[in-house]
Structure 1
Amino acid sequence: MKKYILVLAVFALIFTVSCNSNKKEDSESMSNEMTDPEAKPDMNTSQTSLEWKGTYSGTLPCADCEGIKTTIKLNDDMSYEAIAEYLGKKEGTFQTRGYYKWKDDGQHILLSDDNETTYMVGENKLTQLDSSGNMVTGELAEMYILKKKDMAANGDVKFTDTKWKLVTLMGKDIKDSEAFVSFATEENKVFGHAGCNTFNGTYKVENGSQLSLDKVSVTMMACPDMTVEDQLMDVLNTTDNFSLNGKNMTLNKAKMAPLAVFEAVE
């Protein structure tokens, strides 16, 4: 009998030690999960939960002008296009193209511009941060917000069958010029006015935005100033891609600065 009781006592001791050991392991496991720097919490971020691709616009504050009318388009391939118009300044329109990346927190994007501009991505808006990466506070805080455009409501235009008026050429604003270009869907014809002479030819679009022009002929009338025309024809012969941003269209060469900017007209 004593032997039987002794066996039961041994089994009880083993069972108690085993339970305590399991509890200790579970506690340590939970503690490690809470303190492990590699453990990533399951959370939704702007990058994963918002439809952030699209076009955003607004007027940012300006120290020496009436404001900076800004439009930024975030593309699927992590590239962006931006137009900044310094209101009240001559030759105050600048267009840049580049790439953006998400920061580790999934809430902010960083542009590849000279200032490495950072935006916090929210529901249908981009909020520009200051040079230190902090939110701007005070009376002007609301002015640092770019709101996402509703493409249908804002009437974004198509690349083809639209009259594109020249507004910027090689970085300079163009005024008082009749220059325009149009890409017709019928027989892939390109035609327009270069500022003095008219031109026409054919074009081809591949992969959505790659552009090539062929057999472009120009009338031979002479004008006092052929500067715009000569530069525009060089652009048409050089460009290899285009991009759309609202009611603006640009002709580009590779990933360099835009060669020419056009605006859709009625």
Structure 2
Amino acid sequence: MPFPVVFRPVLLLPLLLAACQTGVSPSAPGTPNTPPAPLRNTRWVLQQLGTERITLPENSRELDLLLASDQPQARGNAGCNRFSGSFEQPTPEQLRFGPLLTTKMACPALELEGRYLTALKAAAYYRISGDTLRLYPGPPTDTAPLARLVAVYTQ
């Protein structure tokens, strides 16, 4: 038997209040409850080098990294120039890049580009927490991150 019309708003009130609650949802990017993004076949965008948050010069492209899922090939954009090269994972927590080849275009972000490529070459370990990838020169418990990148999902 249906409820009288006068009782329907009372039954919907708890649902409306629950929908209006504020706070971070467990699946919001960057929260501890976000499942780890896969290392491979994810576009990682640079957010921080060392302790410096990255701000891109005007007319620059995002600095990113993509590790192929089917072969040990890395590629990305260093701000102005594209790069590619090999990588290896000697253990599940290690990540090392081989020589990285770059294009040779001139642009205002060359200093930042050089520091990014240097950080990639110095990386030996990594850790993924949710949608964040951190690269380290040594074991993460002993060293500060060289770079922090975030996963960008496209559809």
* TM-score (ref. length: structure 1): 0.42
Q: Measure, in 2, the Cα distance between the counterparts of 1:211 and 1:155.
A: 20
Q: Which has the higher contact order (CA 8 A, sep 6+)?
A: 2
Check the 8 A contact 2:79/2:109 in 1, yes or no: no
Structure 1 Cα separation of the partners of residues 50 and 78 of structure 2 = 15
For structure 1, the residue ranges without an aligned partner over 5 or more in a row are 1-57, 60-69, 72-147
Offset of 1:216 from its aligned partner?
1.3
2:114 matched to which residue of 1? 230
1:155 CA displacement:
4.1
Alignment of 1:165-176 (within 5 A): 165-176=45-56
| Structure 2 partner of 1:163 | 43
Q: CA deviation at 1:243?
A: 0.5
Q: How many angstroms does 1:172 deviate by?
A: 0.9
Distance 1:155 1:256 in 2: 24
Structure showing the higher strand proportion among its residues: 1
Query: Matches of 1:224 and 1:175 in 2, distance apart?
Result: 13
Moved over 6 A (4+): none
User: Which residue identity is paired with 1:185?
Assistant: S
Where does residue 135 of structure 2 map in the other structure?
251
Which structure has the larger Rg over C-alpha atoms?
A: 1
1:1-266 to structure 2, matched below 5 A, reads 149=33, 154-176=34-56, 177-254=61-138, 255-266=142-153
Q: State the distance in 2 between where 1:178 and 1:225 align.
A: 11
Task: Give the aligned residue type for 2:67.
Answer: F
Aligned residues: 119
Unaligned runs of 5+ in 2: 1-22, 25-29
User: What amino acid is aligned across from residue 145 of structure 2 in structure 1?
Assistant: P
SS at the partner of 1:251?
Answer: strand
Q: Please state how far the C-alpha of 1:231 moved relative to its aligned partner.
A: 0.3
CA RMSD of aligned residues (A): 2.0
